[in-house]
A and B are shown apart, each in its own frame.
Chain A
Amino acid sequence: MISIEFIPHYKLSGLNAEEKVKLILKSVKQNRIVLIQGRLRREEETKLIEQTMKIINKDFKGIEPAIFYPEIKKEGSFFKYLKEKLIDLFLSDRQGLTLIGPANIVKEIRQDPDKLQLYLDLNLPKSSKKKSRKNKKN
């Protein structure tokens, strides 16, 4: 079973970079994929990598992150562009999505401007594989 934990923006908004990273890594270390409303700031991204490196061991191999930035397109009217820029300015890091998974489960995240593709190593235990085969026969 793969567990995905959603963290809404308000849960992180009052925290400093260190506290945010600590909270995220606590969940990821428990083999959960964390989905965050909004995006991390640039300095938080590097802090996340630094802290991850400090806790890597034979069981925890690191993280696979992807930050999905909303793209402000210059197409359309000037007012539409201006509106989008203002929304981005005021909402700042609330816009976008951040996905962080443990590297032993999430092998790769492919980013495309419009989609995220997760390549997972499900590594199901033998017993559950047998079960699913039995179910197929029935």
Chain B
Amino acid sequence: MKLGLYGPPNGGKTTLANRICLDWLGEEMGAVSKIPHETREINVKEQITVKYGDKQLTFNLVDTPGIATKVDFEDFIKSGLDEETAKERAKEATQGIIDAIKWLDDMDVVIVVLDSTKDPMNQVNITILGNLQARGIPVIIAANKIDLKKSNVKRIEKVFPQYKIVGISAKYGKNMDELYKALFEMVK
């Protein structure tokens, strides 16, 4: 089974991937950064077995680059990168987005990771969720960053009432049990 982590850039997909790997394998999966598009390639961690009560679930975890409709190298310069590095990052980011979309068809279950401090009502989120729904792929929304003051999980619930939404802090491992429970319920 392939469990995909999808969402816009900087929602915390890799932080969640690291949390899941730390919880069940004892090691992290990838680097995280405040600069958008840190993950620009598909990363797969194979054979993760998650246990919940007396049940267990084994899957390959697929961490994908953040999906966006625009990539501006000047934004990376503003984040402190030099021009050449910024241009290279932009080029890799665009390819990463294409790859993430191509991998959609291969997923069995997807956790869409959204930053709960941000307005969820944007076309990227709607497109990702709509495409998963059209493909019949079960989806859980992880409303990440609930450790931050501006977090507003209810706003996500209001915009996407048809989905199972779990508020988590991937960084601090808060509410991960709820997420695992939702995952078991989704695949049973």
Contact = CB atoms under 8 A, between A and B. Distances in A.
Interface string A44-70: 011001101110101001111111000
Contact of B69 (A42, A58, A62): A62
Interface residues of A, number: 23
Nearest to A99: B123
Interface string A94-105: 000000000100
B9 to A, nearest CB: 12
Interface stretch (B11-19, B93-101, B148-156, B169-177): B93-101
Interface in B93-122: 94-95, 97-98, 101, 104, 119, 121-122
Interface in A87-138: 103, 109-112
Contacts of A53: 71, 94-95, 97-98
B127 A46 contact: yes
Contacts, number: 66
B123 A111 contact: yes
15 contacts: A42-B127, A42-B134, A43-B131, A45-B127, A50-B101, A56-B70, A56-B90, A62-B69, A62-B72, A63-B70, A64-B70, A66-B123, A103-B69, A103-B70, A110-B121
